[in-house]
Amino acid sequence: DAKTTQPPSMDCAEGRAANLPCNHSTISGNEYVYWYRQIHSQGPQYIIHGLKNNETNEMASLIITEDRKSSTLILPHATLRDTAVYYCIVGKSSNDYKLSFGAGTTVTVRA
Amino acid sequence: AAGVIQSPRHLIKEKRETATLKCYPIPRHDTVYWYQQGPGQDPQFLISFYEKMQSDKGSIPDRFSAQQFSDYHSELNMSSLELGDSALYFCASRKGQEFSEQYFGPGTRLTVT
């Protein structure tokens, strides 16, 4: 699986958009970009995933560059409950696909 | 909506003892994953099962074994426990071939003294 690079930490003001970057320059054509988050010691939570088109759901938006070498997760209106470690993971969608968690981004939302 | 259930939530064992962690996936999910998260570390994949067969294996010690039963629940058996086995153990389930996302349970916190 391709490796990802994320900034170790970032702060965000409550109510503002949080833009979380991720580099995955070695991603292959059939690999997806997944985003999960982990709120302190809880089980990781799925946020969103995409292949090459931009995606949006009730939690976030995912913007993938045309060359697919990087992506940005956007939390449109951050709340204090969005404080968590955010993981960008690249991998295939298959029956036996495991998640390879790397060093994510610790996002702190401040009032 | 039903979630992944893990039991027990907390477990304290002594060195060299054995432990069994249980995971009950979301109904109709046929794939189960086990992850280990040590203190201050990121989750690491241990092992997975699809339709009751082992589908992938990560950095799982030989002292650990796991299986998935006919009702799709899974158990992680850990023997000769070491202090370094103290960690959060997460189980996740997924419905293969339909949805990509994994749904995680609340975890079992194992403390080895």
Could you report the per-residue pLDDT of B43-97, keeping only the tens digit for each? 999 999 999 999 899 989 999 999 999 999 999 999 999 999 999 999 999 987 6
Give CB contacts under 8 A, 24+ apart, made by B55-60. B55/A95, B55/A96, B55/B31, B56/A96, B56/A98, B58/A98, B60/B34
Q: Is A45 on the interface with B (CB under 8 A)?
A: yes
- Ramachandran quadrant class, B39 (left: phi over 0; alpha: psi -120 to 50; beta: rest): beta
Contact A61, A2 (CB under 8 A): no
- Does A95 sit within 8 Å of B96, measured CB to CB? yes
- Does A41 sit within 8 Å of B45, measured CB to CB? no
Q: What is the pLDDT of residues A49-98, one digit of tens each?
A: 999 989 999 999 999 999 999 999 999 999 999 999 999 999 887 655 78
State the pLDDT at residue B96: 74
Q: Is A103 on the interface with B (CB under 8 A)?
A: yes
**Residues of A in Cβ contact (< 8 Å) with B58:** 98
State the pLDDT at residue A95: 57
State the pLDDT at residue B100: 72
State the pLDDT at residue B95: 86
**Residues of A in Cβ contact (< 8 Å) with B101:** 34, 46, 49
